[in-house]
């Protein structure tokens, strides 16, 4: 039987497949996160992660807006546009991006410098930009499927809050508001997205493409940490030459 | 004086600026290339570089075709389309991509597996895809300027041929045809491209953007080597989880 003629998996088996491939590639297994949660990160390493990850955070409402721009279904758009609000907020100082910048201040970084993204590692930029490209170029259901790393986010966020409170007490607990906000939202978002994906990926070939989109997404998250590792953990530290210097 | 009102640099000073920023960030300074040319790479490390770099090679005619697609000037297009021919060849087995696959065989890799790009590291893919995006999204003159790493290629290729013949004698010299072919072509290509860039970047702001596009390009080349380093040189080796496994 060729793959194209293969019958689609039943709903539960398809969800299992997505969860299995996602779980074993999720970035909670990355050494940067393992060490973060064990409490062995230096302040400089924690800062490097926060400022590089901020670039990823800025890409979330961008990629969600692209998804909404491709939707022809008002009910779907209404649901998905809430994700944009979650990150951009209802007003200045509100929303996930603002909470992340508070976290940046909490770890001792300059808010405006983090917001400018000038110190973001080039490889982090390439990986996060690839996420935006993915939701632009692949089919709509694959774009939605790529968000399903949210399956695993609530658990990671819960462990993170406990680990930070225990190991990095110099970060004020109210700076962890972003992580707290993500627990219920990621749960709600992933339930909505999986419902859409299982309904609309109605061939085996498309189910497989959805798994592949989720895998690409896990590679993006993983690679972000690889870049932070190489520049701030590895011996020798490997940062690209003068990447943040002004060129004028 | 604000930057926007600043007068454009004279032609020679602009070329100096491009050369200076390009030269100090060029990937000949990367530890992977330094070690390659010192002759200390293992066969497995050499193979890893060849197969990952192949993905970059496949992106060159793609980005050149995008540049041609954006040109409204037949004389420019006529010149630039020659670059596409250089890589895709006049017929099967001809051209830069085919020469690179011969090189892959020369270092003991399976030609078809390399051609499939299935073993390419995710971070290498993100970086090379960013090059394609750059020539699509930035202004036309910036897209052309990003090719100017060719300034530095002939020197690197010449040193590479000598180093490989000396240190990796198990690679048959005729497998190095790709490197040899690039010396005169990169020289010709960079002369044409710089002529276009100095003529068309006629404000200081645009000159600066051209320098920035060239810097992004050097970051792409550099990052490719960072990814190879992390997975094949660093201790511990860090490869993403099961990235090349089949998902079916």
Q: What is the CATH number of the domain that holds B80?
A: 1.20.910.10
What is the rounded distance in angstroms from the CA atom of residue B146 to the CA atom of residue B152?
13
Please state, in angstroms and rounded to a whole number, the distance separating the CA atoms of residues A232 and B164.
32
- Band (B246; pLDDT cuts 50, 70, 90): low
Q: Which residues have CB under 8 Å from A214's CB, separation 6+? A: A18, A21, A22, A145, A146, A148, A149
**Neighbour count for residue A48 (Cβ, 10 Å):** 23
Q: How big is the CA angle at A119 (ends A237 and A161), to the nearest 5 degrees? A: 80
> Could you give the CA distance from residue B40 to residue B187 in angstroms, rounded to a whole number?
29
- Burial (0-12, 13-18, 19+ Cβ within 10 Å), A39: exposed
Give the distance from residue B149's alpha carbon to the nearest chain A alpha carbon, in angstroms: 15
Q: Is residue B185 part of a domain?
A: yes
Mean pLDDT in residue range B75-102: 94
- Note the pLDDT tens digit of each residue in B19-56: 999 999 999 999 999 999 999 999 999 999 999 999 99
Residue A203's contacts (CB-CB under 8 Å, 6 or more residues apart) are: A8
Instruction: Decide if B240 is inside a domain.
Output: no
According to the model, what pLDDT value does residue A246 have? 53
Pick from B147, B215, B218: nearest CA to A247: B215
B129: confidence class by pLDDT, cuts 50, 70, 90: very high
Residue A119 sits at the chain B interface (C-beta within 8 Å): no
Considering only CA atoms, which of A175, A50, A45 is closest in space to residue A117?
A50
Inspect the interface and report whether the beta carbons of B229 and A220 lie closer than 8 Å: no
CA B158 to chain centre: 16
Work out the mean pLDDT of chain B and round it to a whole number: 95
Of the pLDDT bands very low, low, confident and very high (cuts 50, 70, 90), residue B5 is confident
- For residue A241, give the 3-state DSSP assignment: coil
State the pLDDT confidence band at B58, using cuts at 50, 70 and 90.
Answer: very high
Whether A219 and chain B come into contact, CB under 8 Å, resolves to yes
Contact A126 B243 (CB under 8 A): no
B241 in reach of chain A (CB within 8 A): yes
> How far away is chain A from the Cα of B25, in angstroms, using its nearest Cα?
6
Q: Is residue A248 part of a domain?
A: no
Q: Which of A21, A127, A243 sits opposite B123 (nearest CB)?
A: A127
- Are the Cβ atoms of B247 and A133 closer than 8 angstroms? no
Burial A5-30 (b: 16+ CB within 10 A, else e): eeebbeeeebbebbeebbeebbbbeb
From B25, B133, B212, residue closest to A241, measured CB to CB: B25
Q: Is residue B102 part of a domain?
A: yes
**Is-contact B76 B134, C-beta < 8 A?**
no
From residue A33, alpha-carbon distances to A27, A126, A243 in Å are: 7, 20, 25
Per-residue pLDDT of chain A (248 residues; tens, 9 = 90+): 567 689 999 999 999 999 999 999 999 999 999 999 999 999 999 999 999 999 999 999 999 999 999 999 999 999 999 999 999 998 888 899 999 999 999 999 999 999 999 999 999 999 999 999 999 999 999 999 999 999 999 999 999 999 999 999 999 999 999 999 999 999 999 999 999 999 999 999 999 999 999 999 999 999 999 999 999 999 999 988 875 555 54
The pLDDT of residue A194: 97
A183 inside domain: yes
Q: How many domains does chain A have?
A: 1
- What pLDDT is attached to residue A16? 97
- pLDDT value of residue A166: 97
pLDDT of A92 reads 84
Contacts of A122 (CB under 8 A, 6+ apart): A240, A243, B216, B219, B220, B222, B223
Nearest to A32, CA basis, from A56, A48, A54, A20: A48
> Tell me, what's the pLDDT at B99?
96
Quote the pLDDT of residue B100: 97
Domain that holds residue A70: 10-232
Q: Is residue B101 in a domain?
A: yes
């Amino acid at each position: 039987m060729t793959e194209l003629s293969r019958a689609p998996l039943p709903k539960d088996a398809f969800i299992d497949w997505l969860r299995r491939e996602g779980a074993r590639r999720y970035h909670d297994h990355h050494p940067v996160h393992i060490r973060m949660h064990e409490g062995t990160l230096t302040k400089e390493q924690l800062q490097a992660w926060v400022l590089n990850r901020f670039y990823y955070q800025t890409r979330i409402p961008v990629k969600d807006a692209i998804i909404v721009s491709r939707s022809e279904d008002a009910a779907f758009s209404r649901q998905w546009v809430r994700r944009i609000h979650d990150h951009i907020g209802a007003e200045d100082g509100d929303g996930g991006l603002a909470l992340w910048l508070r976290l940046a201040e909490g770890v001792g970084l300059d808010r405006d410098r983090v917001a400018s993204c000038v110190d973001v590692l080039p490889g982090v930029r390439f990986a996060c930009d690839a996420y935006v490209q993915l939701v632009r170029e692949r089919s709509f259901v694959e774009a939605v499927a790529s968000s399903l790393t949210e399956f695993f986010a609530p658990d990671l966020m819960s462990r993170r809050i406990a680990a930070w409170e225990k190991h990095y007490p110099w970060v004020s607990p109210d700076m962890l508001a972003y992580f707290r906000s993500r627990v219920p939202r990621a749960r709600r978002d992933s339930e909505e997205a999986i419902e859409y994906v299982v309904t609309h990926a109605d061939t085996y070939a498309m189910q497989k493409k959805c798994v592949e989109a989720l895998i690409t997404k896990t590679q993006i998250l993983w690679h972000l940490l690889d870049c932070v590792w190489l520049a701030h953990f590895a011996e020798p530290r490997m940062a690209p030459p003068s990447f943040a210097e002004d060129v004028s």
